Structure 1
Amino acid sequence: MPYQNAVLDDQKLQDALKKINPRFGDFCTRVAGEAWGLPLIDQKTKALITIALDVANQDQVGTGSPFAAHVNMAMQQGATRAEIEELLLFMCVYAGFNKAVGCFGTLNDLLGPST
């Protein structure tokens, strides 16, 4: 079942952020939790937007990968792999093919090869 607030209702996410750094985790939870609590854009759409930003910012690798966390968040909010793949294809046009290909690779690492 999707969370009402993908940050404030996800204790596992909060614990992972605090594991990176306790103050960082607390700060992210408070600030992002407030942003995710804004009422006009649904949680699934917000999660897909964060993936698009990860593509544009090239943030899909490394410890605490925002891309991995955002893929997980989107799927918890009801997004499908097919929707995420279509988003990555769409981002090829606006962020660049070379940025999107790395995200496709990381998506395969996270979810297994696409069929």
Structure 2
Amino acid sequence: MEYQNAVLDDKELQKNLKSINPKFGDLCTRVAGEVWSLPLIDQKTKALITIAVDVVNQDQTGPGSPFAAHVHMALKQGATLEEIEELLLFMCVYGGFNKAVGCFGTLNEMFNSSL
């Protein structure tokens, strides 16, 4: 299901953020919701950008992993696993092979397969 705003319209995401910490969840929803409301970049592209940032920041593992949340967000916005795989391949060059490999592993675990 594609949303007009991938943060403000996704009640499950907001609930998950608040489960980490209610104040943290509220802050993330307000701040991220505002930038996700900006009109020039579509929601799918924004979601793919967040995955690229996760590669660079090495945010693919651990409790509350932003990478997993952003993968699910991108899929909800119409991205395919193949597009996410291609993004990770692209990030090998621009973010670093060693950073992208962990994201491939996490993606495989998320979908119980190898791409």
Structure 1, unaligned runs of 5 or more: none
Structure 2, unaligned runs of 5 or more: none
Structure 2 counterparts to residues 28-39 of structure 1, below 5 A: 28-39=28-39
**Local SS of the residue matching 1:45:** helix
Matched residue, 1:60 = 60
Give 1:112 shift: 2.1
**Local SS of the residue matching 2:29:** helix
Structure 2 counterparts to residues 1-115 of structure 1, below 5 A: 1-115=1-115
TM-score, normalised on structure 1?
A: 0.98
TM-score, normalised on structure 2?
A: 0.98
Number of corresponding residues = 115
Aligned-pair identity in percent equals: 77
**Local SS of the residue matching 2:5:** coil
Q: Which residue type is aligned with residue 61 of structure 2?
A: V
What is the alpha-carbon distance in structure 2 between the residues aligned to residue 105 and residue 4 of structure 1?
30
Summarize deviations over 1:27-68 as a string: whole Å, max 9, x none: 000000001000000000000000000000100001100000
Give 1:114 shift: 3.1
Give 1:111 shift: 1.3
What is the alpha-carbon distance in structure 1 between the residues aligned to residue 65 and residue 31 of structure 2?
18
**Local SS of the residue matching 2:105:** helix
Q: Which residue type is aligned with residue 12 of structure 2?
A: K
Deviates more, 1:34-43 or 1:105-114: 105-114
